């Protein structure tokens, strides 16, 4: 599928995986609407190819408004990449007692329900566009994690949310096939994003050493490159691709 002269939505688009993806899509000729929380985009400058839109993925009205903005700007909405998410750590039973139930619900609401909300509302707008000569209208790429498969101690909430995205992939692809919309998921391993900004260099080096090959952390640009490859490859649909250097996480 071609990106030039189309519109794209990237959630979590002001930093990390989302920012790298927004820049990569823009470089291929798409006009990108990068959704993020207001605090996340306050220092982001709107460019000719990237428009930063304040939107909370847990608020359907804000998501609907952002989708309307992207779909109504004159170019067909073809691409959605869901990168918004959080990853707090807490044990089901810890020193302070039972896992904060509100925190568990919040992680599910942002990571899983937020992803579904964007997918559903954006797919409606994509379905309304004119198909290309092969019947294609668009691609939606969601972000899971290897924690969906190898959740560690303290990752019950995060792994649940990302496992839900894995489970969403195939039925979403089947639901949207009649509209010419493909659905794919990327499950990254340990990627150098703002979530790791607070850890020490020694801890980061230890994480990198656990990756079979290449023995380093992933880069957001590599996620973006994979997203572009998925968009370009018209026969990829309904699948989850691990991007993790063959890493399989230990219990802790």
Domain ranges for the chain, please list them: 7-242
Copy the structure tokens of residue 217: 């952390």
What totals of helices (H) and strands (E) does the chain contain, helices first?
9, 9
216-245 pLDDT, tens digit per residue, is 999 999 999 999 999 999 999 999 999 999
Other CB atoms within 10 Å distance of the CB of residue 65: 15
Burial of 186 from C-beta contacts in 10 A (0-12 / 13-18 / 19+): buried
Report phi then psi at 185, rounded to 5: -135, 140
Q: What is the pLDDT of residue 197?
A: 66
Q: What is the pLDDT of residue 178?
A: 98
Q: Which CATH superfamily is domain 7-242 in?
A: NAD(P)-binding Rossmann-like Domain (3.40.50.720)
Q: How confident is the model at residue 206 (pLDDT cuts 50, 70, 90)?
A: confident
Copy the structure tokens of residue 63: 């998501």
Q: Active site residue: 33, 158, 179, 235, which one?
A: 158
Copy the structure tokens of residue 132: 């290309």
158-169 pLDDT, tens digit per residue, is 999 999 999 999
SS3 state of residue 190: coil
Q: How confident is the model at residue 24 (pLDDT cuts 50, 70, 90)?
A: very high
The pairing of beta strand 97-98 with beta strand 138-143: unpaired
30-86 pLDDT, tens digit per residue, is 999 999 999 989 888 778 899 999 999 999 999 999 999 999 999 999 999 999 999
State the DSSP string of 13-61: TTSHHHHHHHHHHHHTTPEEEEEE-HHHHTTPPP-SSEEEEE--TT-HH
Looking at residues 13-31, what average pLDDT do you find?
97
Quick check: pTM over 0.85?
Answer: yes
Q: What is the pLDDT of residue 72?
A: 96
> Quick check: is 158 catalytic?
yes
């Amino acid at each position: 599928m071609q990106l030039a002269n189309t519109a794209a939505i990237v959630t979590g688009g002001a930093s990390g995986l989302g920012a790298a993806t927004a820049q990569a899509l823009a470089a291929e000729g798409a006009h990108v609407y990068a959704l993020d929380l207001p605090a996340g985009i306050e220092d982001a400058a709107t460019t000719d190819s990237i428009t930063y839109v304040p939107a909370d993925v847990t608020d359907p009205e804000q998501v609907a408004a952002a989708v309307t903005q992207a779909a109504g700007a004159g170019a067909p909405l073809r691409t959605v990449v869901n990168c918004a998410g959080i990853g707090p750590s807490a044990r089901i039973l810890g020193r302070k007692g039972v896992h904060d139930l509100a925190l568990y619900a919040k992680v599910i609401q942002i990571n899983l329900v937020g992803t579904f909300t964007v997918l559903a509302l954006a797919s409606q707008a994509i379905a309304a566009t004119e198909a290309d000569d092969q019947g294609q209208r668009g691609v939606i790429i969601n972000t899971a994690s290897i924690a969906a498969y190898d959740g560690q101690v303290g990752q019950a909430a995060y792994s649940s949310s990302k496992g839900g995205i894995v489970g969403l992939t195939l039925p979403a692809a089947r639901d949207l096939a009649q509209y010419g919309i493909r659905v794919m998921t990327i499950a990254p391993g340990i990627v150098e994003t703002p979530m790791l900004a607070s850890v020490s260099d020694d801890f980061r080096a230890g994480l990198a050493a656990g990756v079979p090959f290449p023995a380093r952390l992933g880069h957001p640009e590599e996620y973006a490159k994979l997203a572009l490859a998925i968009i370009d490859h018209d026969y990829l649909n309904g699948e989850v691709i691990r991007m993790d250097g063959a890493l399989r996480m230990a219990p802790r």
